[in-house]
Amino acid sequence: MSGEGQRSAGLVPAMLAALALKATGLVRRRAEAGKPSRRPDGPGHETSDVNVRNTVLVMGGLALSAAAVIGGMVLFIRVTESRQRAALPTLTPQQTTRLVPPPPNLQPDPYADLDQQRDAARATIDGYGYLDPARTRARIPIDRAMDLAVGRSLDGGEPSR
């Protein structure tokens, strides 16, 4: 008995939905068996036309549903963003100050600087001087060192002739 009770209980919502559809006029009643149809039932002919009103209502419902979903998402995103911004701590003055990078460190006259560096190197090569603060080692001009080294053995022995 419980099986039949469950079956009949499942039919009640279906019957209520059918009655609601008939009352709104969205579903047409079946043609009476005794009435002749308006169109021939032969091949290539439809027995009824498409209900334009129902099609327009369904399409309008879909469009409204899509618009409602899009509007709901836009509203949700804006509310969420505003809550996230409100939850952020305020920025410190150090974070809000405008950073200005320093100007580039360019040489105003690089050729003059290069000449000055070459002159200092030339004075070191061509002049006499000490290599250490204790004055135990000295340097001599490179031309003089070459004159002293010409004709002498690098091993410290007798000069070659």
The pTM of this model reads: 0.32
The strand pairing partners of 130, in sequence order, are 138
**3-state SS class at 36:** coil
Is 29 within 8 Å of 22 (Cβ atoms)? yes
Q: Kindly report the three-state secondary structure assignment for every residue of 67-110.
A: HHHHHHHHHHHHHHHHHHHHHCCCCCHHHHCCCCCCCCCCCCCH
Q: For 91-127, what is each residue's pLDDT tens digit?
A: 899 999 999 998 888 888 999 999 999 999 998 888 8
Is 37 within 8 Å of 45 (Cβ atoms)? no
Q: For 47-95, what is each residue's pLDDT tens digit?
A: 677 788 889 999 999 999 999 999 999 999 999 999 999 999 988 999 9
